[in-house]
Amino acid sequence: MESVQELHKDVVHMGELVRQAVTRSNQALVQGDQSAGDEVLAGDDLVDAMELAIARRSTDLIISGRYLSDEEHRGLVAALRVIADLERIADLAEENALISHEASPPHAAGITRRLGKLTDLALGMVQIGLHAFAHRHLRDLQQLREQEDVAEVAQRLLHAAILCHLKSTPGDLKAGVSLLFASHNLGRIACHAANIGEWAIYSATGNLGRLKSYHPSGFPASLLPLV
C-alpha cells in the first residue's frame, strides 16, 4: 500500500503543473501569447483529474483500517486541503487566460511591469509553501509571511496603476476593468499560497492558525524593491 510520502510527491507534482499554468496565463496576459493561454485552458482538466485522484487515494488510506500515526493522519488531511488550494489557483490562472482575450497587450509600461512583479511574487509564494509542505522546512515560511504582505501591497500598486491609466485613457475601459479582475486573481493566488504554508505547519506540528503577517509599514528595506 502506498505511503503518505508518495501522496505528498504527487501533490508537489500537481503544484508544479499549477505553477506552469500561472506562468502561461501571465504570458497570455502580458505578451499576448494566446497559444500559452490556450495551453492553460486545455490543461485545466488534468489538474482537476489529479485533484480527484489524490483525494480518492488519501481517503482510501484514511478508511483502510491500516494503522496510521498522528503524523500520517495530519499529512493526509493537509494533502486534501493543499490540493483544494492548488485546484483553485489553477482556476484563477484559467480565468486570467480567458481575460487575456479582453485585455490584449500592449499595456502601459507600468502596468506590464507590475503584472510581472505580482505574478513572480505569487509564483514564489506557491513554491515556498509547497517546499515547506513536502520537506517540512518550516523555516522557509518566514519568507512566506513577509511576501504575503508584499503581494498585498504589490496588488494595490497595480490597481492604482490601472486606475491611473484609465483616468488618462478612458477609451481603454474594457481592457482596464479586465486587468483589474486579473490583478485580483493574482492576489487570490498569493492568498492560496499562504494557505498552503499554513497546512504545511499543521502537517508538521499539528498546530492550526494563520500565518503571522507584518504590517506594510513595517517592511524591511530589503523587501521594498519587490513591489
Q: Give the structural domain span for 56.
A: 4-226
To the nearest 10°, the Cα dihedral for 146, 100, 26, 226?
Answer: -40
What number is the average pLDDT over the span 12-32?
Answer: 93
Report the sign of the C-alpha dihedral through residues 147, 148, 154, 157, in that order: negative
What percentage of residues in the chain have a pLDDT greater than 90? Answer: 55
Contact present, 197 and 141 (Cβ < 8 Å): yes
Per-residue pLDDT tens over the stretch 87-101:
999 999 999 999 988
CB-based contact 118:155 (threshold 8 Å): yes
pLDDT in tens, 101-138: 887 777 787 888 999 899 999 999 999 999 999 888 88
Q: How many domains does the chain have?
A: 1
For residues 160-179, average pLDDT:
84
Read off the pTM.
Answer: 0.89
CATH code assigned at 12: 1.20.58.220
The predicted pLDDT at position 217 comes to 46
Grid-cell match 486545455, residue found: 42
Q: Confidence band (pLDDT; 50, 70, 90) for 145? A: confident
